[in-house]
Chain A
């Protein structure tokens, strides 16, 4: 059987781990730039707040209830996520990490005991080892496991483990809204609803040719998965990413080239850092900028892709290319709200080995190595290209950021 492990209100659980005083009080975590609520505790849900609610709308309610509000602390969440996935791997062998707080596992046939027992024990083990509550859903396919996980999260399932046996599929899928199925977006869901496909069971029974004719191959796979035929393959673990994106909205709008170029350099450097982590090279740099879509003044959005020839992993070369790109697409007279850098044409590590030998400039290579060494020894922020430096007045708004409890000696949790 296939299982989906999901961390319960993951960001909130991470914030609570080192704040025992918040165990019973409402907690919410805000999105980038503190825009809207992205995670909330049960107590916050009971106040009637929903995911995606803009923060300013619930701010006074939260204050009056003594709620704790946090900016997204991705450094902390990623570190805790790595721990959860490591423990999960020890328990189940191979783990397919699907997102920061979700992973697929296979229940090995030679594991003693029932699936319920094993999942229950795994849940307890992860909670004790890492301190984060999780839930498990098991079923015949990934799509069904995802549905089973949703069942595991309901109040009718206090154990936090739900095993969807084949014999129970009809009963569960008949009550499962088609719009809640993994891979069925709201647009596709509406389209299906209009044609009388209301439950997951309806989609399972729908004729395959009809789905093939009117919808995509993706939906056909979902349909098969609902029938119990595994059709969504594993993403090869550890495979190099096809594209690396670094992008962010600004805390205030930018009109001039200089701060915009600073931002683009910072994103380019960040993306190059990720590229270096997987020891790859990129063949293309895409730079994009856009204005605030939600405002009614002059709109502008443009992107440009530059070729890196030969492909490179050098952060200085990538930053330089990104800035060349920016100068091509920058237009005066607009208020920019977002920019980003995408690296693509990413090569495998083996290919890099060869490139190392056709190096054009040995000094540059050595500089790059020294920079990487410095960053890995002293942290990402110890050295940066000149163009990304200086004061970042446009940087993400994070007013309620918690300490980096697990990754910085100066921010450790305190104990009396």
Chain B
């Protein structure tokens, strides 16, 4: 016989709300100071509809603090400008690099001395997917 014991509310994941009984006449002195929990979405995602997450597989951006296994937060709503770290599609694959735009040239720069700059000559198969606005890394036993 399978028994299922009632699960209790996982307050760890909810928004803090005072659902406990408060003794009448003694409201919590902290009640006025109650605020919402920190929300990582608020920190990382400015525009939900245009934000995508991608997983890093190479080490070409090590110098910028982007390591293999990291999750990039990419916002498509931003227009890429010189100096942005961008995700771009090049020769049929996504790559993350620093974008260098001057009056005459567009170059994708790695931040790792072992990688060479990539000058963009054939515009046809180059397209900026979005601008990197954040990087998320879980580690140790929290690895996802």
Residues in A lying within 8 Å of B, measured CB to CB? 18, 20-21, 23, 82-84, 86-87, 90, 128-131, 363, 366-367, 370, 373-374, 377, 386, 405-406, 409-410, 412-416
Contact = CB atoms under 8 A, between A and B. Distances in A.
19 contacts: A20-B89, A86-B49, A87-B50, A129-B49, A129-B50, A131-B76, A367-B7, A373-B7, A374-B7, A409-B144, A412-B71, A413-B52, A413-B94, A414-B94, A415-B56, A415-B57, A416-B58, A416-B93, A416-B95
A363 B71 contact: no
Contacts of A83: 48-50
A362 B58 CA distance: 54
Interface of A: prevailing SS: helix
Interface residues of B, number: 35
Contact of A414 (B10, B54, B76): B54
Nearest to A410: B144
B96 interface: yes
A130 B92 contact: no
B55 interface: yes
B99 interface: no
B96 A415 contact: yes
A86 B48 CA distance: 9
A416 B94 contact: yes
A84 B56 CA distance: 26
A370 B7 contact: yes
Contacts of B57: 414-416
Contact of B9 (A367, A373, A405, A415): A373
A406 B52 contact: yes
Nearest to A88: B49
A413 B89 CA distance: 12
Interface of B: 2, 4, 6-10, 13, 47-50, 52-58, 60, 71-72, 76-77, 87, 89, 92-96, 125, 127, 129, 144
Nearest to B96: A415
A415 B52 contact: no
A373 B47 CA distance: 26
A129 B92 contact: no
Contacts of A84: 49
B85 to A, nearest CB: 11
A406 B71 CA distance: 12
A19 B41 CA distance: 26
Task: Pick the most buried of B60, B94, B96: most chain A CB atoms within 10 A of its CB.
Answer: B94
Nearest to B2: A386
Contacts of B71: 409, 412
A289 to B, nearest CB: 27
Contacts of B76: 128-131
Nearest to A367: B6
A409 B70 CA distance: 11
A185 to B, nearest CB: 35
Contacts of A414: 54-57, 94
A129 B77 contact: yes
Contacts of A413: 52, 54-55, 94
Nearest to A366: B6
A87 B47 CA distance: 10
B127 A20 contact: yes
A386 to B, nearest CB: 7
A413 B57 CA distance: 10
